[in-house]
Amino acid sequence: MLRLLNFWILLIAFLNSNIQVYGVKAIRILLIIAGLILTGKVGKRLINGLMRQGRIPGTWNERRIKTLRGVIQSLLRYTLYFVGAIMILSELNVDTRSILAGAGIIGLAVGIGAQNLVRDVVTGFFILFEDQFAVGDYVTIAGVTGTVEDMGLRVTKIREATGELNIISNGEIKQVARLRT
């Protein structure tokens, strides 16, 4: 009977200490998640506030603003996901140094393998940001003359007068000539 009583006393002591340790960890993880959600909402509001039509200099159309807003919000969201995952894993006593090193190596490999894609997206971002041309402009780009029908972060579509649709990677755009119509 004494052995059974000692067993229950040890079990209760063990559970109390573990509940305390894991309870604190659970609360800290919930605080991390709440902080990330709050940061995401504040960041989204800040981005939306900065990207309102009247606050951007120049003649930006609504489509460019939506494109830029979406890109920046996606970048914020995925950054928060990554930082949150690392913080939660660290809270669970997982060694995150190897994860960060692995992410760096994978990022380097993807960067080398996707150089053209990255170049296209970065160039597309600056084309939008610098307002080099807009949908509806009559331009000459990469030896193609026509009306800009669509533009995105990766490609620009130009319709020639003959009706041909040319799709040009933004990374290939070295010089732009806006022509008068």
What tens digit of pLDDT does each residue of 84-106 get?
A: 999 999 988 888 888 888 888 88
Look at residue 58 in the predicted model and tell me its pLDDT: 54
Query: String of b and e for 152-176 (b: at least 16 CB within 10 Å)?
Result: ebbbbbbeeeeeeebebbbbebeee
The angle at the Cα of 160, spanning 159 to 162, to the nearest 5 degrees, equals 120
Structure confidence at residue 70 as a pLDDT band (50, 70, 90): confident
Q: 96 φ, ψ to 5°?
A: -90, -5
Q: Which position has the higher pLDDT, 35 or 154?
A: 35
Look at residue 152 in the predicted model and tell me its pLDDT: 79
What the chain holds in terms of domains, given with CATH numbers, is 2-113 (1.10.287), 138-179 (2.30.30.60)
Which 3-state string (H, E, C) describes the chain? CHHHHHHHHHHHHHHHHHHHHHHHHHHHHHHHHHHHHHHHHHHHHHHHHHCCHHHCCCCCCHHHHHHHHHHHHHHHHHHHHHHHHHHHHHHCCCCCHHHHHHHHHHHHHHHHHCHHHHHHHHHHHHHHHHCCCCCCCEEEECCEEEEEEEECCCEEEEECCCCCEEEEEHHHCCCEEEECC
Look at residue 154 in the predicted model and tell me its pLDDT: 84
- Mean pLDDT check: name the lowest of 29-33, 77-81, 138-142, 151-155: 151-155
Asked if 166 and 160 touch (Cβ cutoff 8 Å), the reply is yes
What tens digit of pLDDT does each residue of 124-168 get?
A: 888 887 878 888 889 999 899 999 988 877 889 999 999 999 999
Taking the mean position of all CA atoms in its chain, how far away is CA 41?
Answer: 15
Look at residue 167 in the predicted model and tell me its pLDDT: 94
Q: 59 φ, ψ to 5°?
A: -110, 80
Q: Which amino acid is at 159?
A: R
- Cα-Cα-Cα-Cα dihedral sign, residues 115, 119, 122, 124: negative
- Bridge partners for 156 per DSSP: 151, 168
With 80 as the cut, is the pLDDT of residue 1 above it? no
